[in-house]
Amino acid sequence: MYYAMPGQRWTFFEIDPAVTAIARNARYFNFLSGAKAPYRVVEGDARLALERDSTRFDILVLDAFASDAVPVHLLTHEAMQLYLSRLTPTGVLLMHISNRFYDLGPIVGTMGHDAGLGTIHREDLDPDDMDTTGKFGSHWVAMARHAADVGALLTQPGWEALIPGGMRVWTDDYSSVLPLLRSRRQ
């Protein structure tokens, strides 16, 4: 909430009620208690909550992919159609797809291409560098209906087009994380 600007309204979708309780407790964190913009927290699975919520967003950020259990239902054709229905015409979808076990770039690139979106990404560190640097890698994807809506990011270091991964688009009836499994050097 420290990034909030006057006139903005923020919505957080959080699946774990314990995380919401901790985030609201100023004893542990003050991001929500010190919020400079109005916000709301919607508890439950974000995809299901978005289906029930008709709000249109200028920016929709997905940050659910860092664990070893990838929520594939957030990476399907049907999910993308839902995201697009909840974005304003010039809205941007940002996805934090950092993951030590899976390279999600190919499927996310395929999703963007399938939806006809301008899709760019930035990968700050190789996940394998964690052992030597002590830092986790960060991989972000930005998508929009019109490439110009994410084009300004291309002037920033590290941002480039995300090429489709040559994969079959995932649907609610089909997905396979096996082709995305990272090989681990021993």
* 112-157: pLDDT as tens digits: 999 999 999 999 866 566 677 777 778 999 999 999 999 999 999 9
Local confidence band at 3 (pLDDT 50, 70, 90 cut-offs): confident
**Burial classification of residue 84, based on how many CB atoms lie within 10 Å of its CB (0-12 exposed, 13-18 middle, 19 or more buried):** middle
- The model's pLDDT over 54-106, given as tens digits with 9 standing for 90+, comes to 999 999 999 999 888 899 999 999 999 999 999 999 999 999 999 989 999 99
Contacts of 85 (CB under 8 A, 6+ apart): none
Domains of the chain: 45-180 (3.40.50.150)
Residue 6 has pLDDT above 80, yes or no: yes
Judge contact between 67 and 19, C-beta under 8 A.
no
What whole-number distance in Å separates Cα of residue 90 and Cα of residue 41?
24
